[in-house]
């Protein structure tokens, strides 16, 4: 606890108005103080911002608009595209395979986000009681976030192997000799196996975000609670958890978006199967666009996925920036 308070004090100092902070604000306010931007500043400003705008246009805006354009065409393989208006979208929502992916995506997204963020948040709380002693542990957990999903996928295939050689079956076999279950071959367990694998890689970021939020709690608040005789559990439940909620919200937002767009790990571990039990919208989009090369149809699925991403991200961005000047 002593260590926490000491560390929290550092965090509190950093959050208070420091000379560096005030200088930064002065610098930001400088043009306004001298009468706002002058006309002569604009060319330089545009010149500086132009590379970003050009790159953003090429890498994000153009592909986005072109994908939406493609969704109005019937494109099969290498044949010439035919304009069909909203035909792809109508077909998409009548397609039982796509409707199935919506349910799968919802389960996958909510479950991976819930597991990753809850675990990350709880671990952050525990780590906050001994930040220095848990440094290595935090680095190890965060390292999983940095591992390629393809590599992680192959690792999890080894864990979920259907025979007794699979790590999970081996561990269960210690208590129940001869046990073996084809986790990835069973439509009832494949999605949950995938959720566990995806959540494993997703814990690191919530851990770091929540940990940073806890570290930002003013020292005085923690000291007051400590002096009033609050126990560590009470401090965690009544102070640390509520005050770290901004970090949790950011973690939920990032994990939701990541899970919604998930593809790599599904491609490697299950390939969308068995019997399409693990096919999410992201994988459906790949299958239609790349395996069957129905680019227009796949683009329509991309449009739906984009809409879902916007529904989640726009309110979150508005909420995050509402207080900004």
List of residues contacting other proteins (CB under 8 A): 76-79, 162-163, 181-187, 267, 271, 273-276, 287, 289-294
User: Least distance to other proteins from the beta carbon of 64, Å?
Assistant: 19
Question: What is the Cα Rg of the chain in Å?
Answer: 25
Range list of β-strands (E), the chain:
73-74, 82-83
The residue (of 246 and 274) whose beta carbon lies closer to other proteins is 274
Q: Are 256 and 312 in contact (CB under 8 A)?
A: yes
The residue (of 58 and 143) whose beta carbon lies closer to other proteins is 58
**Angle, helices 135-146/187-202, rounded to nearest 10 degrees:** 120
User: Least distance to other proteins from the beta carbon of 188, Å?
Assistant: 8
Angle among Cα 246, 250, 253 to the nearest 5 degrees reads 140
User: Least distance to other proteins from the beta carbon of 87, Å?
Assistant: 13
Q: What is the token pair recorded at 242?
A: 């509520």
The residue (of 215 and 278) whose beta carbon lies closer to other proteins is 278
The residue (of 181 and 249) whose beta carbon lies closer to other proteins is 181
The residue (of 249 and 276) whose beta carbon lies closer to other proteins is 276
How far is Cα 235 from Cα 245, in angstroms, rounded to an integer? 15
User: Least distance to other proteins from the beta carbon of 99, Å?
Assistant: 15
User: Least distance to other proteins from the beta carbon of 185, Å?
Assistant: 3
How far is Cα 135 from Cα 19, in angstroms, rounded to an integer? 30
User: Least distance to other proteins from the beta carbon of 34, Å?
Assistant: 52
The residue (of 2 and 188) whose beta carbon lies closer to other proteins is 188
Q: Count Cα atoms within 13 angstroms, Cβ side, for 268.
A: 20
Q: What is the token pair recorded at 158?
A: 């080894």
Q: Are 194 and 149 in contact (CB under 8 A)?
A: no
How far is Cα 279 from Cα 276, in angstroms, rounded to an integer? 5
């Amino acid at each position: 606890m002593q260590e926490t308070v000491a560390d929290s004090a550092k965090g509190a100092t950093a959050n208070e108005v420091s000379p560096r902070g005030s200088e930064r604000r002065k610098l930001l306010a400088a043009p306004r103080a001298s009468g706002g931007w002058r006309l002569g500043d604009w060319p330089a400003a545009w010149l500086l911002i132009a590379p970003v705008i050009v790159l953003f246009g090429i890498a994000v805006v153009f592909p986005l608009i072109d994908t939406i354009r493609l969704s109005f065409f019937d494109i099969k393989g290498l044949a010439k595209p035919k304009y069909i208006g909203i035909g792809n979208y109508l077909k998409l929502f009548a397609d039982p395979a796509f409707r199935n992916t919506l349910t799968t995506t919802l389960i996958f997204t909510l479950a991976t986000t819930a597991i990753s963020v809850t675990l990350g948040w709880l671990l952050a709380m525990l780590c906050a009681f001994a930040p220095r002693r848990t440094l290595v542990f935090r680095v190890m957990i965060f390292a999983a976030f940095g591992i390629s999903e393809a590599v992680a996928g192959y690792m999890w295939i080894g864990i979920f192997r259907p025979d007794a050689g699979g790590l999970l079956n081996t561990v269960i076999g210690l208590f129940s000799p001869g046990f073996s279950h084809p986790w990835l071959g069973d439509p009832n367990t494949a999605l949950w196996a995938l959720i566990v694998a995806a959540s494993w890689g997703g814990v690191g970021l919530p851990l770091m975000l929540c940990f940073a939020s806890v570290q930002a709690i003013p020292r005085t608040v923690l000291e007051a609670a400590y002096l009033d005789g609050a126990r560590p559990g009470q401090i965690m439940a009544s102070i640390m958890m509520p005050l770290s909620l901004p970090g949790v919200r950011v973690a939920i937002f990032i994990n939701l978006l990541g899970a919604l767009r998930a593809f790599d790990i599904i491609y490697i571990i299950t390939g969308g199967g068995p019997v399409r039990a693990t096919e999410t919208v992201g994988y459906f989009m790949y299958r239609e666009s790349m395996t069957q090369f129905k680019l227009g149809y796949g683009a329509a699925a991309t449009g739906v996925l984009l809409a879902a991403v916007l529904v989640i991200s726009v309110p979150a961005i508005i909420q995050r920036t509402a207080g900004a000047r």
